[in-house]
Amino acid sequence: MARAFQNYIAGAWTNAANGKTFENRNPANWNEVLGTFPNSDKADVSRAVEAASAVFNEWRLTPAPKRGDILKRVGDLMTQHKESIAREMTREMGKVLVETRGDVQEGIDTAYYAASEGRRLFGHTAPSELRNKFNMSIQVPIGVAGVITPWNFPMAIPTWKIFPALVCGNAIVFKPATDTPATGTRLVELLVEAGLPAGVINLVHGGGTGVGMPLVEHPKVRAISFTGSTQVGKTISAAATNTLKRVSLELGGKNAQIVMADADVDLAMEGVLWGAFGTTGQRCTATSRLILHEKIHDSFLSALIKRAEKLRLGDGLEANTEIGPLVNQSQVDTVESYVKIGKDEGAKLETGGERYTEGACKNGFFYRPTIFSGVKPDMRIAKEEIFGPVLSVIKIKSLDEAIAVLNDTRYGLSSSIYTRDVNAAFRAIRDIEAGITYINGPTIGAEAHMPFGGVKETGNGHREGGWQVYEFFTETKTVYVDYSGRLQRAQIDNQ
């Protein structure tokens, strides 16, 4: 019998107040039920927010290095249980085991990085314009933070948000995606085992309407960190306006890899195969467009089609599998709709474009790697996020044209160029409109200690990862210490 999972509120595991549940199933074999989870609503969110609010003052007064020590223990526990976490994640969302191991490793890296930041969290000092006066700024926690995460990186992305928020002294209400609730539960279990005090982390399962929006709208939630679609991000941004809470949005992408005529084509081939079809294309940084110089276009495309057709689809737990399933039927429907759009727009379907149902894959959401050629920059398949294994190939004649085509989208997350010309590389770095640019690397492969995020409709300017996320989860307090023993009136006395 499948396990019955629960919410975690105020230090106790509990069912949803309404008693409702939903099932979690294996996308590689939809007949396999992995567990049932609380289908929570506003009442559970309110309880969780109140629990976080009640412990916030005690938690913020815990020295930051001590908060970091707890995250160090979480990293140790994740290392100890890495394989079991990865296998559970593969069963839950489908991507191959080598990728889920990497997902866990990213969480481990983030834990150790956050632990070290507990001894940093630097402020600034600056000289005063007056005598016998000292000026400084310090970083202080915001309060209760709501964390809403997607299913494609169900361990890495929550750790990007939760670990920095905790080390900064905030209390958390966490809503994982309904497609990956078990991994979210496992993360909370590890935090509890590491010694995080009751109420500092609260887990509420459920959908966007029942849990996500009540969390966004709650007046005691002072910050929201969300990763997901641009459409939902806009809704969250609008809803958060009434309470003027801080909001970080990491949203969609329509990322492109440029391959110039002088590139190492073998390296570029490995990059686009990994970028386009890794995680079955279900990454916000996935390579959705391939921009090829006309001199190498035909030969590169021909070789790419042959390589894509040899990729092995199957259960992500099998050692020889290279591509797992899409996460659910809705994603299959989305991919199929865009394949039809591409055909109707006049692009040439070179390979794929259909579900894969052979053998053990018959009960899963498998889709063949799909490549369109003859794609024009104004086609919908070249502009809209698909979130599946669909690659649009565009032919260009020059670097200027390549960059213009790459920039011709409402998104601006990740980008890539393969070239041996250092001048071209630096022009690309300067002129590409994206938060991330890779030189001779694919559009995927972010590192935990570097800022992650994009421009335009990819987000609202904040960054995950690196040092900048700690700025999001803290307020800056400016402090003046006047030890002159008399009233000093700043500019009035300084004329």
Measured between alpha carbons, how far is 325 from 286 in angstroms, rounded to an integer? 16
Strands 133-141, 124-127: pairing is: antiparallel
Active site annotation includes 284 = yes
CA angle 451, 228, 441 (to 5 degrees): 45
Measured between alpha carbons, how far is 262 from 191 in angstroms, rounded to an integer? 49
Measured between alpha carbons, how far is 122 from 119 in angstroms, rounded to an integer? 9
**Going along 171-220, which residue ranges are E strands?**
171-175, 201-203
Instruction: Tell me whether residue 12 is exposed, middle or buried, using C-beta atoms within 10 angstroms of its C-beta: 0 to 12, 13 to 18, 19 or more.
Output: exposed
What pairs with residue 372 in β-bridges? 349, 392
Cβ atoms 327, 361 nearer than 8 A: no
Q: Which of 106, 117, 217, 250 is catalytic?
A: 250
**CA distances to 150, 391, 464 from 467, in Å:** 22, 33, 9
State the amino acid at position 164 in one-letter form: P
Q: Which of 106, 217, 284, 385 is catalytic?
A: 284
259's tokens: 């391959």
Active site annotation includes 361 = no
Measured between alpha carbons, how far is 465 from 451 in angstroms, rounded to an integer? 5
Query: Residue 394 CB: number of other CB atoms within 10 A?
Result: 25
Sequence-separated contacts (24+) of 83-89 with Cβ below 8 Å = 85/155, 85/183, 85/186, 87/317, 88/182, 88/183, 88/186, 89/154, 89/155, 89/180, 89/183
Measured between alpha carbons, how far is 23 from 36 in angstroms, rounded to an integer? 4
Kindly list the catalytic residues.
Answer: 250, 284
